[in-house]
Structure 1
């Protein structure tokens, strides 16, 4: 099967769109924690992992910058339109995290970061045609153009971003207004998911009907 068939397959497009959502969200909790100047772990500095994170935390602005970079990468992936830029930024950040988890022998974490590396690699392969003008020097290329995700997925990405950032806000959810806000964001996110899936289903049925 050619890349063009893979790229134009509706199911593959749906998988890639939601893989971007999933990978983008992965950076929100840790990114917000760093951006707000909080410690990422409570491990003792007597351990190599605890000492490493404490040293990173003590850098101050650099710790905040790491958090901001993670959030920006996640938001770019969520937008769908700028997903390639987000994937490249995500790869740069994640590669460092992946090597750290392997070097410091994180229990189980290296497996999660390895799966994330595979996911972001898949996203880059999906959009590799957009990178060809950069990778191929001084050669004329005929670039195949593929349609970007529809407006519904872009809008959904914006809604997911707002809701997931709110849900990822560090600290316990207290009683009262905060808990209702948390529940409201959860409901909005679930309704967004159901609405987009319903519209995608209707669009798919209409396409099949027109082709038959």
Structure 2
């Protein structure tokens, strides 16, 4: 009953939607770097961390595959509709990264990855009702239905994901005046999308209260 109250609370739904955006975005920079075949760090190979990342970079196709996996997990989360699949994929990738940051004694990075682990576990718990049929193997079970994010949040997620990818692509070249203007335009699109979606959500909430 408590989970039902948490799951149907509109404020909680809003926080989960934006947590998906935030967590999904976290994989975009590192994922795109790997997918484009670039080095993730410039740390000297004399240091264990630099040696580790250089070895991954030299693997070639595997380096690109890691980037594609990270980017896919981030996009799935931001689409909202496929967020559960994105959360599971994100957990598998992040668990590996989290252990690496602890094992190699990354200064401060392990704190960030730990917070990301907490965030992704929250997202999985939020969708735990969808996973019960898998966990309750060979036992009769049903998936309880809860309100899904509206189309406005799905569209917003697509806009965020596409804009972030374009911004990265523009940032990887020596930008001319047109590329700088394009970057500003996509930043404005992201800001307007955030403002408009949240304004509409707030307006709909007021209408429901008044009715």
- TM-score, scaled to structure 2: 0.97
Stretches (4+) displaced over 4 A: none
Matched with 2:107 is 107
Cα distance in 1 for residues equivalent to 2:176 and 2:138: 62
Cα distance in 1 for residues equivalent to 2:179 and 2:48: 36
* Structure 2 alignment gaps of length 5 or more: none
Cα distance in 1 for residues equivalent to 2:52 and 2:174: 29
Shift of 1:172: 5.8
Matched with 1:28 is 28
Matched with 1:180 is 181
Q: Secondary structure at the match of 1:149?
A: coil
Cα distance in 1 for residues equivalent to 2:136 and 2:3: 18
Cα distance in 2 for residues equivalent to 1:173 and 1:109: 29
Contact 1:44 1:50 in 2 (8 A): yes
Matched with 2:140 is 140
- Where does 1:163-174 land on structure 2 (aligned, <5 Å)? 163-169=163-169, 171=172, 174=175
- TM-score, scaled to structure 1: 0.96
Cα distance in 2 for residues equivalent to 1:171 and 1:101: 26
Cα distance in 1 for residues equivalent to 2:168 and 2:4: 37
Matched with 2:46 is 46
Shift of 1:7: 0.2
Cα distance in 2 for residues equivalent to 1:30 and 1:10: 32
Cα distance in 2 for residues equivalent to 1:143 and 1:37: 41
Aligned residues: 210
Shift of 1:8: 0.3
Matched with 2:4 is 4
* Structure 1 alignment gaps of length 5 or more: none
Cα distance in 2 for residues equivalent to 1:20 and 1:167: 20
Matched with 1:193 is 194
Larger deviation: 175-184 or 34-43? 175-184
Cα distance in 1 for residues equivalent to 2:190 and 2:132: 36
RMSD over equivalenced CA pairs, Å: 1.1
- Where does 1:46-65 land on structure 2 (aligned, <5 Å)? 46-65=46-65
Q: Secondary structure at the match of 1:119?
A: helix
- Where does 1:60-75 land on structure 2 (aligned, <5 Å)? 60-75=60-75
Larger deviation: 159-168 or 77-86? 159-168
Shift of 1:166: 1.7
Q: 1:165-197, CA deviations, whole angstroms, 9 ceiling, x for partnerless residues? A: 122335366231111110010000000001001
Contact 1:152 1:196 in 2 (8 A): yes
